[in-house]
Amino acid sequence: MQAKIDSSVVIMTDGGRDVTVGDHTQILRGTEILGPVVIGSNTYINRDNYIRAETTIGNHVAVGPFCRFVTDSHEIGSTNRRAGKNTVNPIFVGDGTWIGASVTILGGVKIGRGCVIAAGSVVIKDIPDNCLAAGVPAKIVRRLEAPTAKNPVLRHAYKVLQGLRKIQDN
């Protein structure tokens, strides 16, 4: 099955900036993607997201609405124009990660596999595999274990991800 991309999604690939989207991936309305970007298979990108060049999003990733993947910035310029030379630093999101609503991820960040990034967080530093991170700036709250009957929060998060995958398959 191919990806499902809403007709309102804006994909900019000028100048050889390819955008690659894996099978069974769904991208909802209002999202803007500026290549080069790679989005893996079985990934769910909710509505109104902004994904800049040099972003790689893995397989089985869930991205909430209103997220920003901001790979570009500027050096501090002179007093005449503080926004100096443009710089681009890649973003990487590992397989199985869940990015909550309204998260901002800045360039140069690597988010590991199996992470949960809480809604409203601003990620400015790397997050290792299997961690819950939250806040502005995002900090590691704790390591995550496999969902078990003894851990209702993780069990719920796992069920939400399973539900998103079922939606994608339909």
Answer yes or no: are the C-beta atoms of 74 and 89 closer than 8 Å: no
> How do the domains of the chain map onto residue ranges?
4-76+83-169
* pLDDT attached to residue 73: 84
* pLDDT attached to residue 84: 80
| pLDDT of 17 above 90 | no
The 10s digit of each residue's pLDDT in 20-38 is 999 999 999 999 999 999 9
Answer yes or no: are the C-beta atoms of 96 and 114 closer than 8 Å: yes
pLDDT above 90: percentage of residues in the chain: 70
Alpha carbon 38 to chain centroid distance?
11
pTM: 0.83
Tokens of 45: 């990108």
Tokens of 100: 């909550």
* pLDDT attached to residue 150: 61
| The CATH number fitting domain 4-76+83-169, selected from 3.30.499.10, 2.160.10.10, 2.40.50.100, 3.40.50.300 | 2.160.10.10
* pLDDT attached to residue 153: 66
| pLDDT of 83 above 90 | no
The 10s digit of each residue's pLDDT in 47-72 is 999 999 999 999 999 999 999 999 99
Answer yes or no: are the C-beta atoms of 118 and 134 closer than 8 Å: yes
Average pLDDT over residues 73-98: 89
Q: Which residue has the tokens 């690659």?
A: 20
Tokens of 89: 């630093």
| pLDDT of 149 above 60 | no
| pLDDT of 40 above 80 | yes
φ, ψ for residue 87 (rounded to 5)? -125, 150
156 is catalytic: no
